[in-house]
């Protein structure tokens, strides 16, 4: 579930990165590209990551200094 709190958004990002890693574990690019379900699930997780990152805006640099 999306969070309105910055730390919750970071957790959403982390959790969806982990999902993509689970979805694609053991796959090479050809297998990933051929698996429509994994491709779309990974794209959905990337959309969630993108939205959470966009909502963090300038707070991201404060919360996760680079």
The CA distance from 19 to 12, in Å, is: 10
Please report where in the chains the tokens 């999306």 appear, as a residue: 2
Where are the chain's structural domains? 6-61
- φ and ψ at 19, to 5 degrees? -60, -50
Write the pLDDT tens digit of every residue in 4-59.
788 899 999 999 999 999 999 999 999 999 999 999 999 999 999 999 999 987 77
pTM score, two decimals? Answer: 0.83
């Amino acid at each position: 579930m999306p969070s309105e709190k910055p730390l919750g958004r970071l957790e959403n990002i982390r959790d969806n990165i982990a999902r993509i890693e689970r979805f694609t574990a053991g796959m090479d690019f050809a297998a990933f590209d051929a698996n429509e379900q994994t491709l779309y699930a990974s794209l959905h997780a990337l959309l969630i990551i993108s939205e959470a990152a966009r909502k963090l805006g300038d707070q991201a640099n404060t919360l996760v200094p680079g």
